[in-house]
Structure 1
Amino acid sequence: MEADPRGGPAGTVVVLGATGSVGRTVCAALHRTGHRVLAVARRPAPHLRAHPFTPLDVATAAPGRLAALLDEHGATAVVNATGGWGTTADQMRSAHVDLPERLAAGCAATGRLLRVVQIGSIHEYGPVEDGVLIAEDRAPGPLTPYGLTKRAGSEHLLAESRAGRIDALVLRAVNVCGPHTTTASFLGVVAERLRALAPGGTLTLDVAEARRDFVDVRDLAGAAVAAVAAPGRSRVVNIGRGEAVPMTELVDVLVKVSGVDPAAVRLRPAAVASKGGSWTCADIGLAADLLGWRPRIPLDASLRAMWDAAGDAEPPGGTG
């Protein structure tokens, strides 16, 4: 493959959802490894100034509009880092089903076989029993609306890939932590509440007796970069640490890195209310074999970076 002057592969990688925690980190990782990047989101954000940017809502855009954008920038790959924690059926269908369908149609309309890297979710498998290592060939169990729509979007991309219209890999990621983690996540909420704690105050946190797999967002971004040029297509690859960590342990680490007096924080047992049940642990063997990828960032360092980044957060409205 022809290389660009910085030593990376030729062609532009388009990152959808570039203003989010995962998207912005993928943009930065691609840039560091010599790729040309086009950031795409509904609205711009200051942290994307290093990259060309196009405002576009792919979930509602005509496929021809996306195809023209891909051709204009000489795109060879697209990373779909969109999605979110929508609460209504319409929101989840728009983000997780409509958008991948339009993405596949837009890529196919270019007449070129573009690599599409979908950032999927471990919740696409549904809950599993405690102790189960979740492999890529696992049949889905009962799915929440979130897991159902995420899986539908991923399966559509894989079907289009098998039909030869796109060249897709789906990265089913576990829970994400690290810099700029969304405040919609459990750890994001905990960090927000710790920052709001007044001197001398106390804080009670409801924490489920659950064990979950977490991966740093920078490690996930590294997997996305590897997937852009990985061999094979129409595959699902799990991305995680391959460890099921007690949620109480994660909260304890976050309290420690925050500097808040641990005596001021009380953990109260709570019922499991997660989309993934009481246990998640990904089998990450295929990621090592196919992508040459392994997680590198320890969870304590990840939570430290998450805390530090939250302190430097942009003002409201800065993430578009």
Structure 2
Amino acid sequence: MSDDSQVGDMIINPRGAADDAGSALRVMVLGGTGFLGRPICRALADQGHTVIAVARQPRDLGQGVEVRALDLAAADVDEITDVLRELDPDVVVNAAGGMWGLTDAQMLAVNVTLVERLIEAAGRLPRRVRVIQLGSVHEYGLVPVGTSMPETLPPAPVMAYGDFKLRCTTAVAEADRHGLIEGLTLRVGNVVGAGQPGHSLLGVVAGKLRAAQQAGERARLELAPLGSRRDFVGLSDVVAAVLLAATRPDAAGRVINVGRGVAASARDMVQLLIDVSEVPTDLVEAERTGPAETSWQRLDVGLAAEVLGWSPSDDLHTEMKQLWEHAGAEVSA
């Protein structure tokens, strides 16, 4: 088997996962047809694992991936228990959840309630299952400009989504300590890649650029201030981290940051997408009326290197190109 796995047009370098994987695993991916779930499923299948994607709206994910329909936000503990017993996974990856376009009540259901029910269901099984929770950089909140956020930093989320994801991380850690699951959380930065959610900043920008391109017009982007600096990470890097987390013994019980370790401005990301698209564009930012810019997030990714043997890519140009090409494919479909 090659060291590289291909997900559509995206090349995933597992950075050692194939060497460490040993025998094939049975992996259940919750939210398996979504932005993160789909490439995770494909990469796992390409490595020879048995993969079952669980999602509310099933779709074909290609050879080697079984898709099971289940509304995870609505499913009770007994339903989830029945599915776990039937599928008998070694690893469960929770790529479900979300924030874009959701109310607080909806975010609570698809994040916290789902994780709590999953833990209770997994605790009923005769053996411990490894549960990989995909957490968020937003669990930390904000830090002083110029500093990084290690896993030892006390979380202080400043938005509801970050608070909900922190509650998930805490629940997984407590369940691991009590022996209900073999749990770990990958605390992920702001992900950039193919299939970007349409409600996200880059998803909105991609949609407007495509509309202008199709109309043969110059694009005009009128956006909120873009000075906030965040840790943006490529989708392929996140997938690679998940593959490693599925097999590395030392990952159990941990919270591990997955980011680039770089604080890039939202303006830089929007400009990179414009450059990749080659669509003539006027970018207009609203003037900032609040306090001086202090919105800063940069993950310390040293533990990921130590425990997973993982490191991020140098830049996001390839990921942004795949985002743009995928947006074009959706428009023409």
Letter in 1 for 2:249: P
Q: Does 1:10 align with 2:27?
A: no
CA deviation after TM superposition for structure 1 residue 80, in Å: 0.0
1:213–1:242: 8 Å Cα contact kept in structure 2? yes
Distance 1:43 1:142, change over 3 A: closer
Aligned match of 1:208 in 218, 222, 226? Answer: 226
State how 1:113-192 maps to structure 2 within 5 Å: 113-192=128-207
Q: Does 1:301 align with 2:318?
A: yes
Question: 2:47 maps to which residue?
Answer: 33
Distance 1:114 1:202, change over 3 A: closer
2:205–2:221: 8 Å Cα contact kept in structure 1? no
Question: 2:37 maps to which residue?
Answer: 23
TM-score (norm 2): 0.86
SS in 2 for 1:21: coil
Q: Does 1:199 align with 2:213?
A: no
1:66-93 C-alpha deviation (Å, 9 max, x unpaired): 2332232231010000111153221111
Q: CA RMSD in A?
A: 2.1
Distance 1:83 1:315, change over 3 A: farther
Q: Does 1:235 align with 2:254?
A: yes
Question: 2:124 maps to which residue?
Answer: 109
- Percent identity of the aligned residues? 38
Letter in 1 for 2:231: D
TM-score (norm 1): 0.89
Moved more, 247-256 or 18-27: 247-256
Matched residues, number: 305
Distance in 1, Cα, partners of 2:127 & 2:77: 14
1:191-238 C-alpha deviation (Å, 9 max, x unpaired): 111111132334033242122111111110111111111223221000
Letter in 1 for 2:74: T
1:77–1:115: 8 Å Cα contact kept in structure 2? yes
Structure 2 unmatched ranges of 5 or more: 1-20
1:64–1:109: 8 Å Cα contact kept in structure 2? no
Q: Does 1:268 align with 2:282?
A: no
SS in 2 for 1:157: helix
Moved more, 49-58 or 242-251: 49-58
Aligned match of 2:265 in 240, 246, 251? Answer: 246
1:258-288 C-alpha deviation (Å, 9 max, x unpaired): 1112xx3223245499xxx721111000001
Letter in 1 for 2:121: G
Aligned match of 2:243 in 207, 225, 229? Answer: 225
Distance in 1, Cα, partners of 2:89 & 2:134: 18
SS in 1 for 2:149: coil
Q: Does 1:283 align with 2:326?
A: no
1:34-75 C-alpha deviation (Å, 9 max, x unpaired): 211000001112345651111112333232332332232231
State how 1:21-100 maps to structure 2 within 5 Å: 21-47=35-61, 50-85=64-99, 87-100=102-115
Structure 1 unmatched ranges of 5 or more: 1-6
Distance in 2, Cα, partners of 1:235 & 1:64: 28
Letter in 1 for 2:305: A
